[in-house]
Amino acid sequence: MSAASSQVVQAKQKRPFYFLKWAKSRKGQQTIIIVAFMFIPLLLLFTFTYFPFAEMFKFSFYKMKYIGPRKFVGLDNYIQVFKRDDCFGALKLSFYYIGGAMVQLVIALYLATMLSFKVKGGNIFKGFMFFPYLISGIAIGFIFKFFYTRGFVFDTVLQWCGFELENLPYWLKDQRINNISLVATSVWRYFGQNMVLFIGAIMSVDAELYEAAELDGANKFQQFRFIILPSIKTIVTLNVILSITGSLSAFEPPYVITSGANGTGTYFVIMNDIAHVSQKVGLASSMAIVLLFIIFVATVLQKLFFKYVMRDEEDENKRAGFRREKSLVRYRKKRGA
């Protein structure tokens, strides 16, 4: 491309006629369309992602507000991030979210398996369970503030099940339980979406396989273990990776439901407060950089880990593949006979 652009410069300087000729040639046309089609998306990408990223890095060494004077403080902000117990300590809450993500994965996997067998009204069930995903975060905040209020929806339902109101905790205030309540809202919101992803992967399996397996006398659990699980392994792995990085950057449930009160402030909720309420932009930037670094390391580690595990299992997969092929052949023979 650099050769092409110097060609442009030359053509412009000496004889403009050549520029037109170049612009009409295939090569010229290609360069023009590449530049024209990439210019705006790349401009947007740099203005709103990479330039801010660089700025953030710079901010993290300053004591500053959005407006007003700035003071260079070196690594002071970073030291603060690790010293202040409301900053780095907040990462502990991530464990709740990782736990929630695993529960969500298991529920989604279970339901997807159920729905992949013949079910009456399967689409309706699927629709009900998926819909929460389409609600805006802020609306979910209100729904669950209402849901968890003392004596309201959740308490009423539990009373129907025989619990006494006096024995029930305050779901959003009691520090022993409130983080779990918040994580539950996130599970509620996403399990249907995960389920749909898993169903999509399961459906990509040849339907004949199930029939063949059934003829071979495989029970439902074996069908799950040998047909369904291998076919969705990639997407499950992907979801595990996403859920761990997602848990580190958990933000929405506490932000919209409790605003981080009563010990529910996750790392990002606190960072958001520091940035936009108390306007300590430098400190917030260094918090962001620290977490981005952790997320980056976690992602790389997980990729490596799964690569390692997957390689071991690849052989087994091949064998499972052979088994499947064989049982298909048997099935076709039987049906032919």
Partner 1 sequence: MILKKCKKFIWTFLKYFSLIFFSIVAVLPIVSCVVTAFKTDAEYQSTNVMTLPENWLNFTNFIEAFRRANMGQAFVNSTIVLIVVLMGSILFGTQIAYILNRFRFPGNGLVRSLFLFATLLPGVAMQVSVYSIMNSLGLINHLYGYIILMMGTDVISIYIFIQFFENIPVSLDESAIMDGASYFTIYAKILLPLLKPAIVTCMILKGVSTYNEYYMAQLYLQDKTRLGTVATSLFTFTGPLGSKYNLICAGVIISLLPALIVFILCQKQIYSGLTAGAVKG
User: In the bound complex, what is the minimum distance in angstroms from residue 244's beta carbon to partner 1?
Assistant: 13
- Specify the 3-state DSSP secondary structure of 261: coil
Rg (CA), the chain: 28
User: In the bound complex, what is the minimum distance in angstroms from residue 65's beta carbon to partner 1?
Assistant: 10
Window 67-86: residues binding partner 1 (CB under 8 A): 67
232 binds partner 1 (CB under 8 A): no
Window 103-122: residues binding partner 1 (CB under 8 A): 107, 110-111, 114-115, 117, 119
Is 245 in contact with 94 (CB distance < 8 Å)?
no
205 binds partner 1 (CB under 8 A): no
Looking at beta carbons only, is 125 or 328 nearer to partner 1?
A: 125
User: In the bound complex, what is the minimum distance in angstroms from residue 69's beta carbon to partner 1?
Assistant: 14
Looking at beta carbons only, is 93 or 196 nearer to partner 1?
A: 196
Q: Which of 132, 169, 230, 263 binds partner 1 (CB under 8 A)?
A: 132
User: Rounded to whole angstroms, how far apart are CA atoms 134 and 120?
Assistant: 24
Strand pairing of 62-63 and 71-72?
antiparallel
59 binds partner 1 (CB under 8 A): yes
Closest CA to 267 of 93, 53, 52, 59: 93
7 binds partner 1 (CB under 8 A): no
190 binds partner 1 (CB under 8 A): no
User: In the bound complex, what is the minimum distance in angstroms from residue 174's beta carbon to partner 1?
Assistant: 20
Window 260-279: residues binding partner 1 (CB under 8 A): 268, 271-272, 275-276
Instruction: Tell me the DSSP string of 130-157.
Output: HGGGGS-HHHHHHHHHHHHSTTSHHHHH
38 binds partner 1 (CB under 8 A): yes
Looking at beta carbons only, is 177 or 328 nearer to partner 1?
A: 177
User: Rounded to whole angstroms, how far apart are CA atoms 141 and 137?
Assistant: 6
Residue 162 carries which DSSP code? T
Looking at beta carbons only, is 110 or 323 nearer to partner 1?
A: 110
152 binds partner 1 (CB under 8 A): yes
